[in-house]
């Protein structure tokens, strides 16, 4: 699997990846996930969008990400929003966090970039007994004219076509976007499935904001800068008749409980 350096598009990532549905935290609360007073590790935290949502719920949250550029933006965003959330540069396979310290581990838009066998072992190491692992993924849905135009333009620049991100590309069957083998791996390693559900939501974009959102995705982050800029310019021109639009999204949430 080719690793993507999202630090190359950190500025766009910081602007465009705050689109967490407002219903997410309430949906966890009604399912018995209480953050108040809990120790939480957010792995693959990027620019800290989810860590800030968790901090709002009065958890003691720490973010971990391999990209120093994304973490720099996380700290800057926290400063503007009056949060003091600690961040560590680390990976899902080697977080640098203490053993058996966390009540909850969250992973959003990142599990498909992990070495899953090593990541599962690391999650088990840092979680307390019977701790909770929450794996979340979200993204825009195909079908709207803007999305179809975006796919049409990007396909000219992405070698090999527009494949699912990370290890999702290796899976022949997915449930709500999650490869079926993930569930077997979690169960085999002592994580029992508590809930798995989907949230639908809409995100409004200006054309400029949509271009930034597209730049932040792995298809673009993996391109050479000249090719990436050419693709973004072509997309901007193709959307000349669109100045503002609403894009349907979905958010898929898997709640797991450590049984060992």
Encode pLDDT of 132-189 as tens digits: 999 999 988 988 889 999 999 988 988 877 777 778 878 889 898 899 999 999 999 9
Question: Which segments of the chain have a pLDDT < 50?
Answer: 1
Residue 98's pLDDT is 97
Residue 2's pLDDT is 56
Percent of the chain predicted with pLDDT > 90: 58
Residue 188's pLDDT is 96
Q: Are strands 127-140 and 60-65 parallel, antiparallel or unpaired?
A: unpaired
Helix axes 180-188, 116-126, angle to 10 degrees: 40
Residue 3's pLDDT is 57
Residue 17's pLDDT is 64
Q: What is the DSSP string of 31-80?
A: TT---TT-EEEEET-TTSHHHHHHHHTT-EEEEEES-HHHHHHHHHHHHH
Sign of CA dihedral 111, 114, 117, 123: negative
Alpha-helical segments (H) within 96-200: 116-126, 145-154, 180-188
Residue 128's pLDDT is 97
Q: What is the Rg, in whole angstroms, of the alpha carbon atoms belonging to the chain?
A: 18
Burial class (CB in 10 A: 0-12, 13-18, 19+), 31: middle
Which residues on adjacent β-strands are paired with residue 106? 42, 134
Residue 15's pLDDT is 61
Please report where in the chains the tokens 């949502």 appear, as a residue. 53
Tell me which residue of 98, 96, 92 sits closest to 121, measured CA to CA: 92
Report the C-alpha gap between 2 and 20 in whole angstroms: 26
Residue 240's pLDDT is 74
Residue 245's pLDDT is 86
Residue 225's pLDDT is 87
């Amino acid at each position: 699997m080719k690793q993507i350096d999202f630090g190359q598009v950190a500025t766009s990532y910081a602007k465009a990846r705050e689109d967490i549905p407002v219903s997410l935290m309430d949906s966890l609360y009604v399912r018995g996930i209480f953050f108040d007073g809990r120790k939480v590790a957010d792995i693959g935290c990027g620019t800290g969008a989810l860590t800030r949502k968790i901090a709002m719920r009065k958890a003691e949250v720490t973010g971990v990400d391999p990209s120093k550029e994304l973490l720099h933006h996380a700290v800057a965003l926290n400063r503007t929003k009056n949060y003091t959330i600690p961040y560590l540069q680390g990976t899902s396979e080697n977080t640098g966090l203490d053993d058996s310290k966390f009540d909850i581990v969250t992973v959003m838009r990142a599990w498909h970039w992990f070495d899953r066998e090593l990541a599962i072992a690391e999650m088990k190491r840092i979680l307390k007994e019977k701790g909770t692992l929450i794996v979340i993924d979200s993204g825009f849905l195909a079908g709207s004219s803007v999305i179809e135009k975006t796919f049409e333009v990007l396909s000219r620049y992405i070698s090999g076509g527009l494949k699912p991100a990370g290890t999702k590309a290796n899976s022949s069957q997915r449930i709500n976007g999650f490869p079926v083998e993930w569930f077997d791996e979690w169960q085999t390693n002592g994580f029992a499935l508590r809930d798995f559900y989907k949230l639908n939501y809409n995100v409004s974009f200006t054309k400029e904001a949509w271009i930034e959102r597209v730049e932040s995705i792995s298809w673009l982050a993996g391109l050479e800068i000249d090719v990436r800029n050419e693709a973004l310019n072509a997309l901007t021109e193709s959307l000349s008749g669109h100045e503002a639009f609403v894009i349907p999204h979905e958010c898929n949430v898997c709640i797991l409980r450590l049984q060992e």
